[in-house]
């Protein structure tokens, strides 16, 4: 399904270091988002800055905020963790789950599934990240992707699907010099849709927006949206540069 607005997830990761920089990036990003009404921007700063930034975007209707991660449990003795209900209470709308950088730190498919369940229970929209680490010629990566989707969604009812997002991010394209080719992205969006249909044993198209992430920039965004047929992007580096972010939004907004 094509979502009404193109979704732009601005994943700041563990950046920037100061509130002064936070102010500049936030101000620039909000100004850009204001100009593009067909965009829904989800700002995902480090959790520490969430409340600080949220106070600045109260009146926007196409910008909301997301968490980069939530704890695997909702509450309790988990030092250093932040639970989904806490983000929900602040008015956060989304949470990234299973980003490859977290999977690399030990996050398993089982943890991803638990987090998806907890997010949905707390009315946070999970942005479930999937992606292969290598693209082998035999096509084993397709099995990896389908498996990641099936495991992440284990126990999730079909009725909940409109309240989640899938972000396809081939790990080898994250933080790299170039993105995946738009034609290949298109193949993957088709494969992901087909996998969902198989997992849910249905014949109908399922209403899950599919995003692409990995080295999106101002030069490739238009083709990735157009040919890749994705519903938006998850951005790392460009999310810290409002000018580049604006160019990407412009490309996504016009289509």
* 169 is a site residue for ligand PGA (CB under 6 A): yes
State the minimum distance, in angstroms, from the CB of residue 140 to ligand PGA. Answer: 23
Rounded CA gap, 198 and 57, in Å? 40
In the list 22, 88, 120, 234, the residue contacting ligand PGA (rule: CB under 6 A) is: 234
Catalytic residue among 99, 101, 132, 247: 99
* 237 is a site residue for ligand PGA (CB under 6 A): yes
| Nearest residue (beta carbon) to ligand PGA | 236
In the list 45, 83, 209, 214, the residue contacting ligand PGA (rule: CB under 6 A) is: 214
Relative to beta strand 165-168, strand 210-213 is: parallel
Cβ atoms within 10 Å, residue 157? 9
Cβ atoms within 10 Å, residue 15? 15
Known catalytic membership, residue 20:
no
* 131 is a site residue for ligand PGA (CB under 6 A): no
Rounded CA gap, 31 and 86, in Å? 28
From residue 112, how far is each of 26, 102, 193 by CA, in Å?
A: 29, 10, 20
Residues 1-5: contacts with CB under 8 Å, at least 24 apart: 1/205, 1/206, 1/207, 1/208, 1/209, 2/231, 3/209, 3/231, 3/232, 5/38, 5/39, 5/40, 5/62
Catalytic residue among 94, 169, 186, 247: 169
Rounded CA gap, 72 and 5, in Å? 30
State the minimum distance, in angstroms, from the CB of residue 101 to ligand PGA. Answer: 7
Known catalytic membership, residue 169:
yes
Phi then psi for 184, rounded to 5 degrees? -70, -35
**Piece in contact with ligand PGA (CB under 6 A), picked from 31-39, 69-77, 106-114, 212-220:** 212-220
**Piece in contact with ligand PGA (CB under 6 A), picked from 34-42, 146-154, 187-195, 232-240:** 232-240
In the list 86, 174, 180, 249, the residue contacting ligand PGA (rule: CB under 6 A) is: 174
As annotated, the active-site residues are 99, 169
Positions in the binding site for ligand PGA (CB under 6 A): 11, 169, 174-175, 213-216, 234-238
């Amino acid at each position: 399904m094509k979502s009404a607005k193109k979704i732009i997830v601005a994943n700041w990761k563990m950046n920037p270091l100061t509130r002064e920089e936070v102010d500049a990036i936030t101000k620039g990003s909000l100004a850009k988002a204001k100009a593009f009404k067909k965009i829904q921007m989800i700002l995902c700063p480090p959790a520490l800055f969430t409340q600080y930034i949220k106070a600045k975007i109260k009146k926007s209707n196409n910008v909301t905020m997301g968490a980069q991660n939530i704890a695997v449990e909702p509450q309790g003795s988990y030092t250093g963790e932040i639970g989904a209900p806490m983000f929900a209470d602040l008015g956060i709308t989304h949470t990234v789950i299973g980003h490859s950088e977290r999977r690399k730190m030990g996050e398993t498919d089982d943890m991803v599934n638990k987090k998806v369940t907890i997010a949905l229970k707390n009315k946070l929209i999970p942005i479930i990240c999937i992606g292969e680490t290598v693209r082998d010629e035999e096509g084993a990566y397709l099995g990896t992707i389908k498996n990641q989707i099936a495991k992440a969604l284990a126990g999730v009812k079909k009725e909940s699907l409109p309240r989640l997002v899938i972000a396809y991010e081939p790990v080898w394209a994250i933080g790299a010099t170039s993105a995946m080719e738009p034609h290949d992205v298109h193949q993957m969006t088709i494969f992901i849709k087909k996998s969902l249909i198989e997992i849910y044993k249905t014949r109908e198209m399922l209403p899950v927006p599919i995003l692409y992430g990995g080295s999106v920039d101002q030069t490739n965004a238009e083709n990735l949206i157009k040919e890749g047929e994705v519903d938006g992007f998850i951005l790392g580096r460009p999310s810290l540069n409002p000018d580049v972010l604006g160019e990407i939004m412009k490309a996504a907004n016009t289509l």
